[in-house]
Amino acid sequence: MMLVWLIVIPAAGGLISWMVERINPAWPKYAALAAMAVDLILAIVLACKPASSNAIAVPWIPQFGIAIIFSSDGLSRLLVLLTAFLGLMAVASAWTEIDDRTGFFYFNLLLALAGVTGVFLSLDLFLFYFFWEVMLIPMYLLIAIWGHENRVYASTKFFLFTQASGLLMFVAILALYFLHGKSSGHYTFDYRLLLGTTLSPTAALLLMSGFLLAFLVKLPAVPFHSWLPDAHTEAPTAGSLILAGLLLKTGAYGILRFVLPLFASAVHHFAPIAMTLGVVSILYGALQAFGQTDLKRMIAYTSVSHMGFVLLGAFAWNRLALYGVVMQLLCHGISTGALFILVGGLQQRLHTRDIDRLGGLWSAMPRLGGAMMLFAMASLGLPGLGNFIGEFLVLLGVFQVSPVLSVLASIGLITSCVYSVWIVQRTIQGKNPKGWKPPDLSARETSIMAAMIVLIVWLGLFPQPVFTAVRPSMEWLQQMSKPAISPHRISGPAVQSSMPPEAVRKETP
């Protein structure tokens, strides 16, 4: 039942926020804050439970082989925990920014969070696609209604990219459903059963392409990334936080959970192309960041670069690279989310994100300046902070598969050093040509930054709990196929995964 509550509480909290606005316009944010606080507590409790507990499998539409199947392993539990934490930070970051239709805003925000949580917990492919769509509509509305000047263009572009690629994935899901039914006589969307589907090489490649395209768009990877800078730039602060911290992670999760295990043979042949796309994304995103004068747009392009490490490491498919991917997902969500919150605070105070108009803010805003410097250093991969662990492990794992791609990707670390220092120098240091004297971070904003700083430092100094949590999942994933483009393999003792299929016991919610 706990897995159900993790989805129901944000959805119900959003609905309550919308309803209580008619009574008192100040109540929606308190209702949303309470809902996400409870959800975070449940996510922490879930992370401390045995991997096989609280799983659910009950029929939904049995005539078509559709069931409500929720389960969690170390990977999904960490991402659910990240969702609850960043959801709470998103609610707190919108506290003073959103003053129009606040109830409907928090309804959409929490509904998107419920959809993201459902994506991380669903093991029925029809149910997975349902939640994939659930998180799309409210995010579109968050950008279209509460975004900035070009919000209609950005939200429409976001919707078209994600909806079109999502429909291709749904076609692939249906094709897999019918192919499995034809070969086994049992039509089902159950992921655990579909893992054993026998596919011809051509069918496997086509079906993998349908899934992978949807996940590459959401990641995003070059050349499917063009929706992201516009969406980030025009979204409200909480929307940018959810986009960078969580929605991009659903694309990476889809690759790890569905693409690699379901289509191992096709992945084996496609991996060189995917890893090359990862390197291109790393370098392209970093170079594009240099050409931006809008601070928010610049951070958006850094996300393209950093998520390129995720794509590169996932298709390298060895233990070090996979551990690095998980760390990168967690730490990128925290560090980039924090940067978007800080930029949102600057825009509220100065009504600009133009880097050429900023500078010399440290004297007036030492708390904001210190937080921005720390998270900029995290973004460049400073040792002692979590991002360093993720990117270093990815490069180390990729080096054992393809030294050339690893060396090329490492250039991205050098460029990230330059643009991260550039962000700090041009915004909070140097001269103050406009004579800005804005107020520093409030107690609420300082609390948000303190929580995120503690996490990013803790992950950088003590990452072992993360590796311990995901070890069964990653080792099971390794067992699905040999690494993609190299005979070298890093392996360990076989460990039974907590995800397929014994982890799920039937229970009535």
CA 185 to chain centre: 37
pLDDT of residue 155: 94
Sign of CA dihedral 354, 418, 373, 87: positive
Answer yes or no: is 146 within a domain: no
**Per-residue pLDDT tens digits of the chain, which is 509 residues long:** 889 999 999 999 999 999 999 999 899 999 999 999 999 999 999 998 876 556 788 999 999 999 999 999 999 999 999 999 999 999 999 999 988 899 999 999 999 999 999 999 999 999 999 999 999 999 999 999 999 889 999 999 999 999 999 999 999 999 999 999 998 888 999 999 998 888 899 999 999 999 999 999 999 999 999 999 999 999 999 999 999 999 999 999 999 999 999 998 899 889 999 999 999 999 999 999 888 889 999 999 999 999 999 999 999 988 899 999 999 999 999 999 999 999 999 999 998 888 888 888 888 899 999 999 999 999 888 999 999 999 999 999 999 999 999 999 999 888 888 888 888 888 888 888 788 888 999 999 999 999 999 999 999 999 999 999 999 988 888 877 554 444 333 333 232 333 443 344 333 33
pLDDT of residue 344: 93
Q: Which domain holds residue 423?
A: 270-488
Answer yes or no: is 328 within a domain: yes
CA nearest to 399, candidates 313, 329, 467: 313
CA 429 to chain centre: 31
Residue 58's DSSP bridge partners are: 68
Answer yes or no: is 334 within a domain: yes
Answer yes or no: is 416 within a domain: yes
127-158 residue pLDDT tens:
999 999 999 999 999 999 999 889 999 999 99
Q: What is the CA radius of gyration of the chain?
A: 22
Answer yes or no: is 379 within a domain: yes
Sign of CA dihedral 445, 44, 337, 108: negative
Answer yes or no: is 3 within a domain: no
pLDDT of residue 416: 86
pLDDT of residue 53: 56
pLDDT of residue 498: 39
Say how far apart CA 320 and CA 474 lie, in whole Å. Answer: 10
Instruction: Indicate the number of domains in the chain.
Output: 1
Answer yes or no: is 307 within a domain: yes
Q: Following DSSP, what letter does each residue of 168-220 receive, concatenated? A: HHHHHHHHHHHHHHHHHS----BHHHHTT----HHHHHHHHHHHHHHHHHHTT
Answer yes or no: is 364 within a domain: yes
Tokens of 332: 């990128």
CB-CB contact of 218 with 162 (8 Å): yes
Half-sphere exposure of 218 (CA within 13 A, CB side): 31
What's the Cα-to-Cα distance from 349 to each of 146, 358, 361, 458, rounded to whole Å? 17, 12, 12, 31
359-405 residue pLDDT tens:
888 888 999 999 999 999 998 889 999 999 999 999 999 999 999 99
User: Looking at 45-94, which runs of residues are DSSP E strands?
Assistant: 56-61, 66-70
